[in-house]
Amino acid sequence: MDKAVLSIRNLSKSFGAIEASKDISLDVRAGEIHALIGPNGAGKSTLIQQIAGGLRPDAGQIVFQGEPVTHLTTVQRARLGLGRSFQVSAVVPDYTVLENIMLALHGRNRTAFRLFSNAFRDTALLAEARRHAERAELGDRLSIPAAALAHGERRLLELAMALSLKPKIFLLDEPMAGLGNDGTQRVTTLLAQLKTEAPILLVEHDMDAVFALADRISVLVYGRVIATGTRDEIRANADVRRAYLGDDEDAL
């Protein structure tokens, strides 16, 4: 149960004088949502990018499903099921919800793009795309162009596309950002389901969502992990309260 799908070992990364990652070690276990929280500029996105392969660490190792992947490119990691990150999702505004998910499925299957004129007629793929849309509560929006979706629905579409890629881990950088209450609630519900398919490393500022979802939480401050633990452990941690919450004792 406690098997690590992803292990970060002693990762460090500097931008000039800024130490964005300082000797970071953490793991993401099968079946868990591991939230990564911390103030603005703490280094959360920098860590996600190093895991996905967009940024090269100065030191340390990334081990995915028991294999070191630190030397692999983004594309090679994606093929292993690592690093289908939220921020690289490519929704085509003029395509409908269903077409966008089909597009993601073709990307997964690496179907040649020149066959695309026939691509929307593949019935097996269509059925699969429909299933992913329905899971994201977009079943009644299938023929709506992505550009016409509400912000929260678009986020759900991006998640449906990420889900359709069948990653072995989800790396999500602020999936609730810019969503209202309703959108946040829908994404929260979906993430709770997603973790049964693959564990999630979740960067999120919305503390209600984090504390509703996370099995474990790591707190990053100035590039350093100052604590990792369960929700209760993090809530009770004096260092976390001091460093991350400042004087706001009620924030957690």
Ligand X SMILES: Nc1ncnc2c1ncn2[C@@H]1O[C@H](COP(=O)(O)OP(=O)(O)OP(=O)(O)O)[C@@H](O)[C@H]1O
Residues in touch with ligand X (CB under 6 A): 15, 18, 20, 38, 40-46
CB of 174 to ligand X, least distance (A): 7
In the chain, the DSSP E strands lie at 4-15, 18-29, 33-37, 59-64, 67-68, 170-173, 200-203, 216-221, 224-229
CB of 126 to Mg ion, least distance (A): 36
CA distances from 247 to 4, 231, 242 (A): 35, 19, 7
Binding partner selected for residue 42 from Mg ion, ligand X, none, CB under the kind-specific 5 to 8 Å limit: ligand X
Burial classification of residue 113, based on how many CB atoms lie within 10 Å of its CB (0-12 exposed, 13-18 middle, 19 or more buried): exposed
**Interface residues toward Mg ion, by CB under 5 A:** 44-45
Query: Counting every residue, how long is the chain?
Result: 252
CB of 45 to Mg ion, least distance (A): 3
CB of 23 to ligand X, least distance (A): 15
Q: Identify whether the C-beta of residue 218 lies closer than 8 Å to the C-beta of residue 210.
A: no
Determine the Cα–Cα distance for residues 72 and 202; give it in Å rounded to an integer: 22
Binding partner selected for residue 139 from ligand X, Mg ion, none, CB under the kind-specific 5 to 8 Å limit: none
Looking at the Cβ atoms of 44 and 132, the one nearer to Mg ion is 44
Binding partner selected for residue 15 from Mg ion, ligand X, none, CB under the kind-specific 5 to 8 Å limit: ligand X
Looking at the Cβ atoms of 144 and 245, the one nearer to ligand X is 245
Which residue type does 152 have? G
Binding partner selected for residue 40 from ligand X, Mg ion, none, CB under the kind-specific 5 to 8 Å limit: ligand X
